[in-house]
């Protein structure tokens, strides 16, 4: 499987995980046809999602990319996994409490 196909599959998987948690979510490029920006469009306001589906996980470069791509005031997160492993979500420790608050606020609105 090509790395592009693996990336698309990863984005679809993350959207499915978010929907199972009760959030509206879909793969961004599939939804609006744009390049760049978020990998997954979702109802979790103020949270940027970067998806990495690869065997060689490199968390720091991934977080740098998420920080570059995140809009001002948006918390960058990285969702990553390797074959036959569970999804991991990375967030900077300084953003953790604010992320939890945004998740709780989104659940109240739903």
Reported as a single tens digit per residue, the pLDDT across 35-58 is 457 788 887 889 999 999 999 999
Residue whose tokens read 């740098």: 64
Domains within the chain, CATH numbers bracketed: 3-109 (3.40.1350.10)
**How far apart are alpha carbons 74 and 71 in whole angstroms?**
5
**How far apart are alpha carbons 36 and 9 in whole angstroms?**
17
pLDDT at position 35 is 47
| Residue of higher predicted confidence among 12 and 108 | 12
With a pLDDT cut of 70, the percent of the chain lying above it is 92
The model's pTM: 0.84
Tokens for 65? 């990319």
Q: Three-class SS of residue 70?
A: coil
**How far apart are alpha carbons 86 and 78 in whole angstroms?**
14
């Amino acid at each position: 499987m090509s790395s592009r196909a693996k990336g698309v599959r990863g984005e679809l998987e993350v959207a499915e995980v978010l929907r199972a948690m009760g959030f509206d979510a879909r793969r961004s490029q599939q939804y609006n046809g744009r390049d760049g920006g978020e990998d997954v469009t979702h109802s979790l306001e103020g949270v940027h999602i970067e998806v990495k589906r690869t065997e060689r996980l490199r968390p720091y470069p991934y977080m740098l990319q998420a920080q570059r791509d995140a809009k001002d005031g948006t918390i960058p997160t990285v969702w990553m996994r390797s074959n036959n492993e569970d999804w991991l979500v990375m967030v900077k420790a300084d953003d953790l409490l604010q992320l939890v608050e945004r998740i709780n606020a989104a659940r109240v609105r739903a």
